[in-house]
Amino acid sequence: MLGPAPASGLQGSIVAAGAAAGSTGGGDVASTAGTPATSAAGLDVLRQARDHSAGPWAVSVPPGRSGLERVEESCLAVADGRTGIRGSVEENGAASDPAVLAAGVYEREPDGTERLVEAPAWTALDLAGSPGPGVRVLDLRTGAVFRTVERDGHPLFHSVHWLCLARPGTGVMVAEAAEWIAARLEPGEHLDSVSVPSSLGSVIEVASATQVVPARSEGVGEGSDGGGAALVTRLVGVAAGRRTRTMRDDPTRLVGHARHAGPAELWDEQVAAWARRWDVADVEVVGDEELTRSVRFGLFHMMASVASRGEAAVGARGMTGPAYDGHVFWDADVFVLPFLAATWPRSARAILEYRIRRLPAARAAAARAGLAGARFPWESADDGTDVTPGSGVDEAGRTVPILTGQEEEHIGADVGWAAWQLAAWAGSWRFLDGPGAPLVVEPARYFEHRMAVDADGTAHLRGMIGPDEYHEHVDDNAYTNLMVSWLLRRAAEVGDRRPDAVVPGEPARWRTMARSLVDGYDAGDGTHEQFAGYGGLEDLLVAQIGTPPLAADLVLGRDRLMGSQIIKQADVLMAHLLIPDGIGRGTLASDMDRYLPRTAHGSSLSPAVHAALLARLGRTAEARSLLELATRIDLDDLTGTTAGGLHLATFGGVWQALVTGFAGIRVTGPDDPALVVDPRLPADWSELRIRLQWHGRRLALSCRNDGVHVGTDRLVAVSVGGGTVIAVHPPGRWVPSGRTGGGTGREEAT
């Protein structure tokens, strides 16, 4: 659906004849006379944006596609970590859903639902006699959206807009229009004093300064005389949060700073800021430009969606759309955070800060259940209380209960795992010894009291929902129990280091409970039973009902589905992805053979998880197919839900598939003595290049099946393909694989 920018579609500036028209609007609008310097600066920004908007870093939307406007708006959304704007055309339209969204700014509806507050899009222009959508391009290197409209080979309209990564809350738009458009050009909705309050005490405030001047010839493309074209420059300030003295920024002040800098300086800052991010986050599949572009598309949106300081409420769709009401799920902790922990730890820390500040609500939820510790909500929004809907409507139009808020309790272990990930990538106990300790200890305390111990000494967690979600109220879900067992051991380690964070005797009890908690392992066939009684359900394979990905609940109906072995997404296999050191050694292959044929991939999370694990097994052709499926879920709107926003967790899963699957990178804890890399690449991938940070080192890895070139800025210890640990000095060296023959290999012992 969306693809690369056309090689010749973004050439030149607007060429038009006649008198330029000026107009007023917004907060601070200049006269129509303008100045040559102002015009030249804006045109120069447009030209530079055009030059960036092509090649393997650009994702384009071709013109003339009716019915896909909202999908395109999601894909072309941009953000600065705190606020975002959907990628609507400037004139909007009946099919558009333009909006400004801010992370963590929620409204409570009369029915108790909490959803993201939406403010007007600050890119609006009144283009009477609309030129048409033209070609629009998201430049992943700069976070800017560029639009060009041509008619009969003549350029009519160009625009570029972005949110400043280096100045969160500051937006810039520059547009150039030919005479027949410019003669009726209006700056659109007046944004000098827009305030959208929330009943929860938060607010989004927008201020802007708009200038309309003749498009002077300085800086215009070759052969242009400037003619009657007009140039619009809009500088925007967006402030969001609690309406208190601590609200981070005043939008008018942000606009003032932006005016002082000017669009050219703001553009240079934007280019530099994104270059710094990509320098530690880029992933490239050498020889496959389209796959690389699709991967970068996801990495860009994850980086744009998470702030680098304070707290980050990362909803399932980020700030790209309103789906799921902006609620925070395990998506943020398990899928998005690992990428940031390995590339931009400050943003990973902000995700965890969101959980830390909501510990009082989690403790209160546990207390209401008569238990100790903290019970994190399945869906979280403003203050950390559970906002999961209590019911929904099924495919037959019946109202059915939604039990995830009551039973999908693995979220507590997921949060603890996320805290451990930050420490593991950093190679430091500092966070876990300090503010992160309760994120591990408090859920462990809750699960200790939540589980039941039978007369034979085995411990159980009953009445649960695992990641599968097609099966409710099950006992001893393997993923949940394995994660909780892992969590109890990690909490004991934290307690050993921080005796003041635990009650005397807790670490010893947690280690005992971890050993006692059943994990569903069957020594007879070498697999983990997904939950107690799963093997007795109707033995149905996905191939018998359709071709995945598919929504099996719509095919089979709710009752038959719950009585079958068909599962929605990785469940047992999810434990293999997250805690390979906490699940039976050598069981990945047998669990894969059992569950993959029964997996409908009814969740966008599922394909990438399986891709990661298939790559670890050396089944690289299957892994690549599922990886490519995952990268296209939003770009091709495979689920029909992209109009509501992009699937950030899918993007995080793609990164994990490439890094922990195909590259075989392992991190287990803060005390890892060496970076472990074990590439398993498809035969037609010449190289997989990954940039990341590990234990404070900035690394550039060029992975092949026979070894890895490790680029580093500091001395680093590396083990490749199970080989001996090698010390790599800056700037780096080639490290051969320790695998005999250097092939793709088979499953390693996990």
Active-site residue numbers? Answer: 469
Q: Are 453 and 557 in contact (CB under 8 A)?
A: no
User: What is the chain's length?
Assistant: 750
Nearest to 125 by CA among 154, 151, 97, 90: 90
Separation of alpha carbons 361 and 563, rounded Å: 36
Separation of alpha carbons 204 and 119, rounded Å: 7
Q: What residues have CB less than 8 Å from 386, skipping those under 6 apart?
A: 365, 377, 378, 379, 380, 405
Separation of alpha carbons 100 and 92, rounded Å: 13
Distances (CA, A) of 231 to 40, 52, 102, 505: 10, 20, 29, 71
Separation of alpha carbons 95 and 685, rounded Å: 41
Bond from prior residue into 549 cis (ω within 30 degrees of 0): yes
Separation of alpha carbons 704 and 414, rounded Å: 32
Separation of alpha carbons 679 and 675, rounded Å: 13
Q: Are 73 and 87 in contact (CB under 8 A)?
A: yes
DSSP characters for 619-687? -HHHHHHHHHHHHTTTTTTTTS-GGG---HHHHHHHHHIIIIIIS--B---TT-SSEEE-----TT--E
Q: What residues have CB less than 8 Å from 154, skipping those under 6 apart?
A: 15, 178
Q: 208 phi and psi, to 5 degrees? A: -150, 160
Q: How many CB atoms lie within 10 A of CB 632?
A: 19
Residue 522 tokens read as: 């069957």
Q: What residues have CB less than 8 Å from 369, skipping those under 6 apart?
A: 375
Please name every residue paired with 713 in a beta bridge, in sequence order, or none if there are none: none
Q: How many CB atoms lie within 10 A of CB 167?
A: 20
User: Is 710 strand, coil or helix?
Assistant: strand
Nearest to 348 by CA among 367, 364, 333: 333
Residue 684 tokens read as: 């037609």
Q: How many CB atoms lie within 10 A of CB 503?
A: 12
Residue 115 tokens read as: 């959803």
Distances (CA, A) of 688 to 278, 520, 685: 16, 36, 7
Task: Provide Rg for the chain, Cα atoms.
Answer: 27
Name residue 713's amino acid.
D
What's the distance, CA 72 to chain centroid? Answer: 17
**CA 3-83-272 angle, 5° bins:** 65
Residue 87 tokens read as: 């990628």
